[in-house]
Structure 1
């Protein structure tokens, strides 16, 4: 699965349509809210809070068939049938320039009774297709805050004309116009507080070729693993419908994400040793999460993002580097940690300290569910040896094995400052969810403004790929170009070396 963003995604010329479902209230108490959901949604309505799954069908399909399959997917996953809203009275004016109101983020809350949010179940029923037109004014790099209606209806009605056909004369968009229109559309309809905060889109090329499907979802409801689940489930349900079978009948049961949140809330307090270690790590960072230790320039306000994607190792080269790791009794991630540790010591005289997302799908019961099954840890290392790097990874996984809410509550939530550095590691080969590469699947991120550095290492059958996002300042462009070049060069060193040699 290719990791990209909406300004670079692989798409095609064609007619772009969006399918909006009908939403109505459902009976039931508000559902529990996870620590990360609370952090994310409490920032309020804003563009760029979503991610998307994009893929090309390998056979023709009508939009109505795709919509029916999407309803089957929604019916499988509880988080896609939930809506966030502010609790009564939690509507203090925002200072973000948006007319949709939000409260200031409270101290010491991690979801549950301390949040100003509700998460309510809703009914999802069939809605309508609309054909999207090109965005007339090119969007600037990064995000800009837009005005929203002062008091939008809780469940806005979809456009009329369900099952709208692609008519002669409907606008045909170039690939670049598709990218721009998708960005503007998802920024609007996949808002954290939208009802619902997800949307199905289809690009239909001329000549009857199979369409491309793009599904945008606010991050509060999905992680990268979830995007694979969505692609697998939709293509399976679509194939079932086209062959006369009940959609998704053979798919595994998908437990709701809210049940996972409840499991975490019911856990006993974290062990004192783990809390002490978190306190040590935060103290070493001046009371905040790790920051990138090399010059990034003026980060007093978020800057337009720069995104770089590097194809680091092809399959044969990846095998050589993995053999190098295996010869030292470690995995590939330890090689990457070793490389970054050595570079930070040489270039800045600092240890490696990075936020390290860890998935919380610890039991097979969660493998086939859609949700934000992520907690955060810190990976800290000052010894570039492979053995020490291996130990640092193991400790980070241990730090991420406990719910963060009780640990971060004394800090008023996860303490972050401009310049925060995060590293994500995703090896698709090790996941129990497989998506056919023939579908050309893509994990599509939004375009945002940022004041931090995020690096993704993605491994799949095509090799090792690196994606980095950083703020667009003159200093950061120089620093990050040099640093990324060095990371790539050193990751490639074992390709032609004896695998028994040390890094």
Structure 2
């Protein structure tokens, strides 16, 4: 899976067909299941976002030959039928207290219709990218019903299937699930037009059930030992979410257009050696890259430690491993640069394992327990790690040339996504497009790559193994 952004995506040109989702005859019911904490937070911000600033996640992959339109239409419909969050939309309405309530509505998929638009002709990769960007901005608006895009670039030799969703419905894991489901559905409907049934894919988990469990969780989290560690983390930061430790050239409350940095961190053989070296110290690849970041920050004069949040999934049952939804929470971590890189990897490995336990505390309960958070920046400094080799359909991702595509919006902090695939390790970094941020973040990432490359040859597990 190649992790990228819409401004860097370079598909081969061809006629782009969009299937509009017609809900005119698809009745809806107001759901008793409220939005999850992540959905409420996301949609509250989306209500005031400028046009074109939608936060979408898109999946794109290739299939042989021209598009079988009927098979693909059936595949898109079956995907929506299979995953309950894709049958949902959200509306904002005034509540009794004078505030705004976000309400979930569920549509009857049996009455939903997909209607293809006339093809949009494109002659170059730039044409195709810009046409897709316009379609994505139009189709994936939050608080719009529907807020998905179903499309394809139809070519004679090899075509591209693309679908996208407002972030309220998906996380990174979901994009891999969508690719795998659509691959199997399309192959099935194309090969057996009258006989294939989507039930052959097996059962999938329910995101609405997850949201209901979250809403019904009445446990007292305030007295948990993990909550004490959350409180201590935010107390050190004066109840402010962590920020990248540098002046990025913006005043408080100011944002800038988002800049994107895409780079390879390590090829496959080097990534394997990094993993082996880190595991010999009781760490992991993620711990090793975080350690390299802490040393890069110290070497760049940004301090001896990095405080951040890292996302982690909440797919705690086998069925939810094949579900589409925003099954993600966060955990806090402070990475301290030790005397040498090996010592930092060993310490970070232990700290990372401990931090995973903190992720069991619902974020809503954390915010309540600390008395609310003060946001100096609208973004939060976070570092994500996803090993796509462990996700559904991993064996097919390279042959499909699968892409995970995000939008470019505005930014005021640094956010980093580490992806592990059969090709190695890659970094996608988001930061404000200011001269200061470009220079500081660029130098920082250069140092991270250089330090990570040294891990296999500089770590001495006998000297730094934990315990």
TM-score (norm 1): 0.83
SS of the residue 1:488 aligns to: helix
2:351: which partner in 1?
Answer: 392
SS of the residue 1:249 aligns to: helix
SS of the residue 1:457 aligns to: strand
Q: Deviations over 1:256-298 (max 9, x none)?
A: 2010112233332224322221111112112111011123111
Residues 339, 44 of structure 1: alpha-carbon distance in 2 compared, 3 angstrom cutoff: closer
Query: In the alignment, which of 124, 127, 130 is matched to residue 117 of structure 2?
Result: 130
1:291 has 2:220 as partner: no
SS of the residue 1:131 aligns to: coil
SS of the residue 1:406 aligns to: helix
1:468: which partner in 2?
Answer: 429
Q: Deviations over 1:55-82 (max 9, x none)?
A: 1113443223211111011100000000
Retained in 1: the 8 A contact 2:56–2:166? yes
Residues 417, 72 of structure 1: alpha-carbon distance in 2 compared, 3 angstrom cutoff: same
Looking at structure 1, the residues matched to 463 and 236 of structure 2 have their Cα atoms a distance apart, in angstroms, of 29
SS of the residue 2:367 aligns to: helix
1:424: which partner in 2?
Answer: 384
SS of the residue 1:467 aligns to: strand
Looking at structure 2, the residues matched to 337 and 464 of structure 1 have their Cα atoms a distance apart, in angstroms, of 13
Query: Gaps (5+ residues) in structure 1?
Result: 93-102, 104-114, 134-170
1:78: which partner in 2?
Answer: 84
2:203: which partner in 1?
Answer: 253
Looking at structure 2, the residues matched to 458 and 320 of structure 1 have their Cα atoms a distance apart, in angstroms, of 16
Query: In the alignment, which of 170, 175, 196 is matched to residue 227 of structure 1?
Result: 175
SS of the residue 1:465 aligns to: strand
Residues 502, 200 of structure 1: alpha-carbon distance in 2 compared, 3 angstrom cutoff: farther
Looking at structure 2, the residues matched to 242 and 432 of structure 1 have their Cα atoms a distance apart, in angstroms, of 21
Looking at structure 1, the residues matched to 271 and 105 of structure 2 have their Cα atoms a distance apart, in angstroms, of 45
SS of the residue 1:356 aligns to: strand
Q: Deviations over 1:121-180 (max 9, x none)?
A: 1123123111364xxxxxxxxxxxxxxxxxxxxxxxxxxxxxxxxxxxxx3342111111
SS of the residue 1:195 aligns to: coil
Shift, 1:229, TM fit = 0.7
SS of the residue 1:237 aligns to: helix
1:481-496 map, 5 Å = 481-496=442-457
Retained in 2: the 8 A contact 1:83–1:119? yes
Question: How large is the Cα RMSD of the aligned pairs?
Answer: 2.2
Residues 239, 132 of structure 1: alpha-carbon distance in 2 compared, 3 angstrom cutoff: closer
2:164: which partner in 1?
Answer: 216
Q: Hey, which of these two has a bigger chunk of helix by percent?
A: 2
Retained in 1: the 8 A contact 2:298–2:337? no
1:168: which partner in 2?
Answer: none
Query: In the alignment, which of 44, 60, 63 is matched to residue 46 of structure 2?
Result: 44
1:322 has 2:307 as partner: no
Looking at structure 1, the residues matched to 302 and 324 of structure 2 have their Cα atoms a distance apart, in angstroms, of 40
Q: How many residues align?
A: 443
Retained in 1: the 8 A contact 2:314–2:328? yes
2:341: which partner in 1?
Answer: none
Shift, 1:48, TM fit = 2.6
TM-score (norm 2): 0.89
Retained in 1: the 8 A contact 2:205–2:321? no
Shift, 1:493, TM fit = 0.4
Tell me whether 228-237 or 385-394 shows the greater mean CA deviation: 385-394
Tell me whether 408-417 or 119-128 shows the greater mean CA deviation: 408-417
Retained in 1: the 8 A contact 2:122–2:128? no
Query: Gaps (5+ residues) in structure 2?
Result: 339-343
Query: In the alignment, which of 394, 404, 423 is matched to residue 363 of structure 2?
Result: 404
Query: In the alignment, which of 133, 141, 159 is matched to residue 191 of structure 1?
Result: 141
1:379 has 2:333 as partner: yes
Residues 499, 12 of structure 1: alpha-carbon distance in 2 compared, 3 angstrom cutoff: farther
